C-alpha cells in the first residue's frame, strides 16, 4: 500500500491542487476513529503516516502517574522508569499498537478520505470561480423547471432562478439561451449554490455596459435604476465628459443600443433620463414624458409636490401610478403629483383660512 498511497497523494496534489499535507492530516484523524471502531479500544491513540515511506503506525498514549486509575490511559512512574530513567509524573509515553491487519482498514479509510477531499476541493474551486462572477452577467441554458425554480446551466454548475427573480409573463423553455444576473453565490453543505436573476435592477446596468462602450469605460455613469421587470424601467445617467450626451449615447443611433436591451428583456419599456445635481430638475427629468411646472420640497420628509399642467396629470401619474412610482424609486423622493388647477384651489383655500384667522384676531 505504501508506494500506491504516496503516488496517489502526489497525483492529487498535481492534478487537483490538494495539498498532500492536508490530506495526510485528515487521514491520520480518520484512522484514529477507524482504529477505535474496529478494535473497540478506549485508549488514547495517535496515528502517524510516514510521508517518505508511506507506512502507517498506530501508537497508544499513556500518562505517567503516581497511582494508576485506568490502565488504558495511565502508566505508573515505576513502570515508566523501567523504560527510561528520565520520565517524570505528567509525561506521556507512546507505545506502538499497530495491528497486523491494519493495512486493509487503512487502505479503505484512505480511499474515503481522498474521495471526500477531492469532492471538497472541486466544490471549493467551483465556489471560488463563480464567486468572481457575483454581480455580473452570465449566459446560460435553461435545463428544467419545477414549482420553485428554473434551473439554468452555467457550465460547471446549475444555477437557480426563483419565481421572484423571473420576468413576469416571460416563458422559459428547455434549451433556451438566456442572460442572467448572478445575484448570490453560497457555499452550502451540499456544495456551491448559485442564485441568478432576470428581474434585478443591476441586470440593466450590466446590459448597458455590454451594449454601450461609454458606460463600460466609465465615460457615462448609470446613477440609478428603477425597474418593474417585464413592464417598464427608468435609468438615470450622467456624463463625465461635457462633450458626451449621456442620454443620446445610451439610446444610440435610431435607438439601436437601447432596443437591443429592450429585446433582451422581452419588450420591457425603457426611459433613459439625465441625472442632475439639482433635485428639482432631476425629479422633473424622472417624470418624463410628462412636463413639470414646479417642484416644491419638504426636506424634512425627503418628499416633494410636483405640479404639472392639467392635461398632463394622468401622463405624469402613469398607468396604475407606474410613472410616478418609478420616478420616486429612481430619485429616492416621495412624490405627490398635483395639477395646476388643484394647486390653485389649494392656494385659494389656504388664503381663505388665513383671511378668516385675521378677521377673528381683529374682532378679538
Does 217 map to a domain?
no
Q: Once rounded to an integer, what is the mean pLDDT over residues 237-251?
A: 95
**Do residues 306 and 352 share a domain?**
yes
- Distance, CA of 5 to CA of 47 (rounded, Å): 16
CATH number of the domain that 81 lies in?
Answer: 3.30.1480.10
pTM of the model: 0.69
Per-residue DSSP letter, 333: -
Q: What are the grid coordinates assigned to 359, written together?
A: 378677521
User: Same domain, yes or no, for 25 and 102?
Assistant: yes
Please name the residues in contact with 353: beta carbons below 8 A apart, sequence gap of 6 or more: none
Does 229 reside within a domain? no
52 and 73 within one domain = yes
Question: Percent of the chain, pLDDT > 90?
Answer: 49
> Does residue 359 surpass a pLDDT of 50?
no
**What is the domain range of residue 322?**
279-364
Res. 352: pLDDT tops 50: no
Q: What's phi and psi for 253, nearest 5 deg?
A: -60, 125
Q: Are both 55 and 173 inside the same structural domain?
A: no
Q: Do 44 and 79 belong to one domain? A: yes
Indicate if 123 and 137 belong to the same structural domain: no
Check: CB of residue 153 under 8 Å from CB of residue 141. Answer: yes
- State whether 66 and 155 are in the same domain: no
The mean pLDDT value for 145-152 works out to 92
Instruction: Find the CATH number of the domain harbouring 364.
Output: 3.30.300.20
- The answer as to whether 289 is a domain residue is yes
Q: What percent of the chain has pLDDT over 70?
A: 92
* For residues 194-200, average pLDDT: 95
Please indicate, yes or no, if residue 214 is contained in any of the structural domains. no
Does some domain include residue 260?
A: no
Q: Is the pLDDT of residue 54 over 90?
A: no
- Structural contact between residues 233 and 268, judged by C-beta atoms closer than 8 angstroms: yes
Query: Does residue 168 share a domain with residue 121?
Result: no
Q: What's residue 342's pLDDT?
A: 86
Residue 71: inside a domain: yes
Note the pLDDT of residue 87: 86
Pure H helices in the chain: 2-16, 20-39, 77-83, 102-131, 201-211, 213-216, 246-251, 256-264, 279-286, 313-317, 322-331, 340-363
Among residues 129, 157, 181, the one where a domain terminates is 129
The residue among 105, 129, 153 that closes a domain is: 129
Same domain, yes or no: 10 and 116: yes
DSSP string, 189-237: TTEEEEEEESS-HHHHHHHHHHH-HHHHTTSEEEEEEEEETTTEEEEEE
Give the total number of structural domains in the chain.
3
- Domain identity same for 46 and 120: yes
Q: Is 36 found in the same domain as 154?
A: no
> Which residues are bridge partners to 298 per DSSP?
303
Question: Does 163 lie in the same domain as 123?
Answer: no
Under 8 Å between Cβ of 141 and 177: yes
Least Cα distance to 1 among 98, 108, 93, 88 occurs for 108
Residue 254: inside a domain: no
Tell me the three cell numbers of residue 338: 398635483
pLDDT at 154 over 80: yes
- Which of these three, 129, 148, 179, is where a domain ends? 129
Residue 241 lies in a domain: no
Amino acid at each position: 500500500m505504501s508506494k500506491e498511497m504516496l503516488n496517489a497523494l502526489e497525483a492529487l496534489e498535481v492534478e487537483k491542487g490538494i495539498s498532500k499535507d492536508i490530506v495526510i492530516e485528515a487521514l491520520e484523524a480518520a484512522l484514529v476513529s477507524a482504529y477505535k471502531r474496529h478494535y473497540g479500544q478506549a485508549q488514547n491513540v495517535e496515528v502517524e503516516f510516514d510521508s517518505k515511506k508511506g507506512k502507517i503506525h498506530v501508537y497508544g498514549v499513556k500518562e505517567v502517574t503516581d497511582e494508576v486509575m485506568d490502565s488504558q490511559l495511565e502508566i505508573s512512574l515505576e513502570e515508566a522508569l523501567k523504560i527510561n530513567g528520565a520520565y517524570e509524573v505528567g509525561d506521556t509515553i507512546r507505545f506502538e499498537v499497530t495491528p497486523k491487519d491494519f493495512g486493509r482498514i487503512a487502505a479503505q479509510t484512505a480511499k474515503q478520505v481522498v474521495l471526500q477531499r477531492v469532492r471538497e476541493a472541486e466544490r471549493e474551486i467551483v465556489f471560488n470561480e463563480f464567486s468572481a462572477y457575483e454581480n455580473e452577467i452570465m449566459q446560460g441554458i435553461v435545463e428544467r423547471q419545477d414549482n420553485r425554480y428554473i434551473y439554468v446551466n452555467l457550465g460547471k454548475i446549475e444555477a437557480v432562478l426563483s419565481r421572484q427573480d423571473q420576468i413576469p409573463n416571460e416563458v422559459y423553455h428547455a434549451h433556451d439561451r438566456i442572460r442572467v444576473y448572478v445575484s448570490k453565490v453560497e457555499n452550502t453543505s451540499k456544495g456551491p449554490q448559485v442564485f441568478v436573476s432576470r428581474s434585478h435592477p443591476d441586470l440593466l446596468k450590466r446590459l448597458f455596459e455590454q451594449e454601450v462602450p461609454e458606460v463600460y469605460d466609465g465615460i457615462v455613469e448609470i446613477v440609478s435604476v428603477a425597474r418593474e421587470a417585464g413592464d417598464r424601467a427608468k435609468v438615470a445617467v450622467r456624463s463625465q465628459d461635457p462633450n458626451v450626451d449621456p442620454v443620446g449615447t445610451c439610446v444610440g443611433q435610431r435607438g439601436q443600443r437601447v432596443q437591443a436591451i429592450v429585446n433582451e428583456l422581452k419588450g420591457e419599456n425603457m426611459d433613459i433620463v439625465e441625472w442632475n445635481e439639482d433635485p428639482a430638475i432631476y425629479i422633473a427629468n424622472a417624470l418624463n414624458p410628462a412636463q413639470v411646472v414646479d417642484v416644491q420640497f419638504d426636506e424634512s420628509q425627503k418628499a416633494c409636490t410636483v405640479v404639472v399642467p392639467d392635461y398632463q396629470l394622468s401622463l405624469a401619474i402613469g398607468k396604475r401610478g407606474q410613472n410616478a412610482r418609478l420616478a420616486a424609486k429612481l430619485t429616492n423622493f416621495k412624490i405627490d403629483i398635483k395639477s395646476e388647477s388643484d394647486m390653485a384651489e389649494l392656494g385659494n383655500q389656504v388664503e381663505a383660512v388665513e383671511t378668516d384667522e385675521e378677521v377673528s384676531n381683529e374682532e378679538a
